[in-house]
Amino acid sequence: MQTIPRVKDPTAAPVFQRLPFVPGSLFFILLLAGCAADSPSILDPRGPAATSIAELWWLIFGLGTVIFLLVMVALGLALFRRRSSTASETGGSTRNDNRVILWAGIIGPAIVLIVIFALSVRTMAMLSSTTPGAEFVVHVTGHQWWWEVQYPNQAVETANEIHIPVGQPILVRLSTEDVIHNFWIPNLHGKMDMVPGQTNEFWIQADTAGEYWGECAEFCGIQHAKMRFVVVAEPLAEFTAWLDQQRAVPPAPVDALAQRGQQIFLGSACVYCHAVEGTNATGDLGPNLTHLASRRTLAAGVLLNTRGNLAGWLTGPQHIKPGNLMPPTELTGDELQALLAYLDTLE
Ligand code: CUA
């Protein structure tokens, strides 16, 4: 089964064997560096909101580094400076100590905290500022454990994949169908909770085209870690073409195998949970499958959308994502091939 890698570090074991003398902490710092290979990072901002968050992060990191170095210098001085022993110097030393405590222990930290507070408030204000007259609105609903994605103004519904035009602010509306989830695209924005009975909103914008991974950032049950999605930022023409394609009703299958697959699909329990436009399948418990074949992933960013992975998901969803609502599909090999051929037509 072809899964999507999160952390790529194929050399970890050999390096560990070859470098037995590398101090443990340094070794783990190197391991952490491997995390950057496939995981989205807030330090790789691709939009204005993420950029302001990254700037704040670097500022606090810089301040922390300067303070850390100053403390280390002070510690070094305290350790290596020869202590004075004469009674006459003791009084002066106490006055100096009090001055150090006042400036380094009270006034200095107060200034640093006030500066950080002011910068944080400025960043928060920037993140909550809105651009009036949003042309594109995307409504994302959290489910255990997948993302329902709707474009209400364009009558488009999909799942686990959000398309946005490059260089334009998009209004994201967030709600949940069950427990609290948290919508997070590290390259584009900070985190936002999806709270039962409430709709939260924020704006995302990508300044460069690309695919950005998003994930759930609030523990929401056993498969919380397998609740991912992809944001595809593309030029406006490609984005509107995608909207048109998603709005279209897929044509009825012409191939005999796919036609048989459609009969199997419509005659099975699939239709109670899934919808396919233009058919009698109108379930809304699971993802809308109208354009399943056009999506990049299956099972909320867990598997690449390949024929083999789809076969594995249909026959053993509880092996791949234990606890999810999808029951295994009891099919013979021939029936499975027919069903796959049908699902393949849903582009
Ligand atoms: Cu949804 Cu964690």
Q: How many Å lie between the centroid of ligand 1 and the Cα of residue 224?
A: 4
Q: How many Å lie between the centroid of ligand 1 and the Cα of residue 327?
A: 20
* Cα–Cα dist 46/265, whole Å: 41
* Cα–Cα dist 71/81, whole Å: 15
CATH code for position 336: 2.60.40.420
The residues near 215 (Cβ < 8 Å, ≥ 6 apart) are 40, 184, 227, 228, 229, 301
Chain centroid offset of residue 343 CA: 27
* Cα–Cα dist 335/330, whole Å: 9
Residue 169 lies in a domain: yes
* Cα–Cα dist 41/47, whole Å: 13
Atom of ligand 1 nearest to the CA of 194: 1
What does the buried/exposed string (b/e) look like for 193-231 if buried means 16 or more CB atoms within 10 Å of the residue's CB?
Answer: bbbeeeeeebbbbbeebeebbbbbbbebeebbebbbbbb
- Residues in contact with ligand 1 by the CB-under-6-Å rule are 142, 145, 181, 216, 218-220, 224, 227
Total Cβ atoms within 10 A of residue 118: 10
Q: How many Å lie between the centroid of ligand 1 and the Cα of residue 286?
A: 16
DSSP, collapsed to helix, strand or coil, labels residue 118 as helix
For residues 9 and 54, the model is more confident at 54
Structure tokens at 159: 């799942």
Q: Are 166 and 208 in contact (CB under 8 A)?
A: yes
Give the residue from 128, 155, 187 where a domain finishes. Answer: 128
Residues listed for the chain:
347
Give the residue from 216, 232, 248 where a domain finishes. Answer: 232
pLDDT above 70 coverage of the chain, percent: 84
Q: Give the 3-state secondary structure percentages of the chain, helix then strand then coil, rounded to 5.
A: 45, 20, 40
Residue 242 lies in a domain: no
Residue 26 lies in a domain: no
Residue 43 lies in a domain: no
Summarised one tens digit per residue, pLDDT across range 99-157 is: 888 988 899 899 999 999 999 999 998 888 766 666 789 999 999 999 999 999 999 99
What sign does the CA torsion over 82, 86, 87, 92 have? Answer: negative
Q: Are 159 and 151 in contact (CB under 8 A)?
A: no
For residues 15 and 274, the model is more confident at 274
What domain count does the chain have? 3
Residues 265 and 335 occupy one common structural domain? yes
- Place 97 in a pLDDT band, splitting at 50, 70 and 90: confident
Residues 156 and 207 occupy one common structural domain? yes
- Place 38 in a pLDDT band, splitting at 50, 70 and 90: low
Residue nearest to atom 1 of ligand 1 (CA): 181
What is the domain range of residue 105? 48-80+90-128
Residues 180 and 216 occupy one common structural domain? yes
Residue 237 lies in a domain: no
Residue 243 lies in a domain: no
The tokens 């406006």 sit on which residue?
Answer: 236
Residues 178 and 211 occupy one common structural domain? yes
Residues 108 and 190 occupy one common structural domain? no
Global pTM value: 0.82
Residues 176 and 226 occupy one common structural domain? yes
Residues 196 and 270 occupy one common structural domain? no
Residue 158 lies in a domain: yes
Atom of ligand 1 nearest to the CA of 144: 1
* Cα–Cα dist 153/5, whole Å: 35
* Cα–Cα dist 196/192, whole Å: 13
Summarised one tens digit per residue, pLDDT across range 51-82 is: 999 999 999 999 999 999 999 998 898 888 76
Residues 141 and 112 occupy one common structural domain? no
Q: How many Å lie between the centroid of ligand 1 and the Cα of residue 220?
A: 4
Residues 284 and 267 occupy one common structural domain? yes
Residue 313 lies in a domain: yes
